[in-house]
Amino acid sequence: MSEYSIRPARTADISGIHALLEPLVERRILLGKDLAVLYGAVQEFVVAEADGELIGCGALHVMWEDLGEVRTLLVREDHLHHGIGRALVEELERRAEDLGLTRLFCLTFETVFFTRLGFTPIGEHVVAPDVYSQLLRSGDAGVEEFLDLAHVKPNTLGNTRMLKHLN
């Protein structure tokens, strides 16, 4: 496999991220994101690049003072199982630690992958009731999935809620 690098996303990467995301959205593995939402979240993203092509991406979304979410993580099919997913998550963890976060959430079908990275399955309540009620106002689809609201449950069927405590 050719060398790859992990770097912060730039606006010119967004249409490529959108294209990588599309087949996974169709298979209901990842949540669909409009281009306008992706451009607005560009600073959340890191990308993996090889030979000038995008081969993966992942994002860190801050939810609360101590809590963030790994989201929109994917590696292009022809580059799977070469450690790129791990490298993307490790970079997002570094960002999380720099921001002062101590807990990282994810909602995923890829439980083996996330378990190897130190995430463990969790129950429903990982924030205090007052934080829960304030998060209800976020208007963010991913946060609504985190809160397990009834209207997003069809999107999250079969996914596992996982959490990692950062050092």
Helix (H) or strand (E) holding 29: none
Options 94, 116, 153, 165; binder of ligand ACO; rule CB under 6 A: 116
Cβ-closest position to ligand ACO: 85
Options 39, 64, 109, 132; binder of ligand ACO; rule CB under 6 A: 109
One symbol per residue from 83 to 102: x for binding ligand ACO (CB under 6 A), - otherwise; what is it? xxxx----------------
Tell me how far apart the alpha carbons of residues 118 and 25 are, in angstroms, rounded to a whole number.
26
Helix (H) or strand (E) holding 26: helix 14-26
Three-class DSSP category at 23: helix
On whether the CB atoms of residues 83 and 125 are closer than 8 A, the answer is no
Q: Which is nearer to ligand ACO, 17 or 30 (CB)?
A: 30
On whether the CB atoms of residues 56 and 84 are closer than 8 A, the answer is yes
Options 37, 82, 152, 155; binder of ligand ACO; rule CB under 6 A: 82
Q: Does 21 bind ligand ACO (CB under 6 A)?
A: no
Task: Report CA 136 to chain centroid distance, whole Å.
Answer: 19
Options 102, 108, 156, 160; binder of ligand ACO; rule CB under 6 A: 108
Options 6, 16, 18, 24; binder of ligand ACO; rule CB under 6 A: 24
